[in-house]
Structure 1
Amino acid sequence: MEVIAVQKSALDGMKNDIKELLELTENATHKYTSIFKEEQWLDNQEVCLMMNITKRTLQSYKDKGILPYSKLNRKNYYKLSDVQALLEAGQPYNTNDNGFTYE
């Protein structure tokens, strides 16, 4: 067994640093906890499966502002209520300038 002696002031300093880190972490997670508790969020795959669309169509919906999304850590999330509202309104179809519809 190895015993390491540390000055009390150094130990107290480390304790304070750890407490500060814990407080920062709690504050950061508290900020987003309420957002995720209020609403169910879906990722790209879940939205594509729910709407029966391709990832490219989903990207088109995002680009055109048809389906709002939020980005967290380089990943997109969609509110379930927004997806349901779009489904109830009827999914917009991809059309080109000639009026032809394609999927």
Structure 2
Amino acid sequence: MEVIAIQKSALEGMKNELKALLELTENATRKYRTVFKEEKWLDNQEVCLMMNITKRTLQTYKEKGLLPYSKLNRKNYYKLADVRALLEAGHPYNTNGNGSTDE
């Protein structure tokens, strides 16, 4: 085991910086916390697996406004309720055997 000795003032400084970083993180995520707690959100891969569609078909659904989404840090998220509603309504397009769509 290696032991490293540092001054108490340096340790206190690191503690204060870590506390400040934690506070910044809490403040940055606070506004999203209620959104994600109220509703289950899915990413692209989860939606494709749930609906048994390709990423391109998912893109078409987004472009046509058939599946609402939110973007957070360049990543798309979909409400589980919206995905279920689209599934219950039936796929807007028929998918052929290779996963592409027949429009």
Instruction: Name the TM-score, length of structure 2 as normaliser.
Output: 0.71
Shift of 1:49: 1.3
Residue matched to 2:81: 81
Q: Percent identity among equivalent residues? A: 77
Aligned CA distance change for structure 1 residues 3 and 47 (closer, same or farther; 3 Å):
closer
Partner of 1:98: none
The change in CA–CA distance for 1:48 and 1:4 in structure 2 (over 3 A counts) is closer
Q: Deviations over 1:61-98 (max 9, x none)?
A: 0111110111122211111000001111121016xxxx
What 5-or-longer segments of structure 2 have no aligned partner? 95-100
Number of residue pairs aligned between Structure 1 and Structure 2: 95
Distance 2:54 2:12 in 1: 56
- Cα pair distance change 1:12/1:3, threshold 3 Å: closer
Secondary structure class of the residue paired with 2:91: coil
The residue identity in structure 2 corresponding to 1:85 is: A
Q: Which residue of 1 aligns with 2:72?
A: 72
CA distance in 2, matches of 1:37, 1:14: 32
Tell me, which stretches of 5 or more residues in structure 1 are unaligned? 95-100
Task: Give the letter for the 2:73 counterpart.
Answer: N
Match of 1:97 in 2: none
Q: Deviations over 1:22-65 (max 9, x none)?
A: 32211112221111111111111111111111111100001111
- In structure 2, how many angstroms separate the alpha carbons of the residues matched to 1:48 and 1:14? 44
Number of the residue aligned with 1:25: 25
Larger radius of gyration: 1
Tell me, in whole angstroms, the C-alpha distance in 2 between the residues paired with 1:3 and 1:92.
65
RMSD in angstroms over aligned alpha carbons? 2.6
Q: How much does 1:18 deviate?
A: 4.8
Greater than 6 Å deviation, 4+ residue runs: 10-15
Counterpart of 1:102? 102
Does 2:93 correspond to 1:93? Answer: yes
Secondary structure of 2:88 counterpart? helix
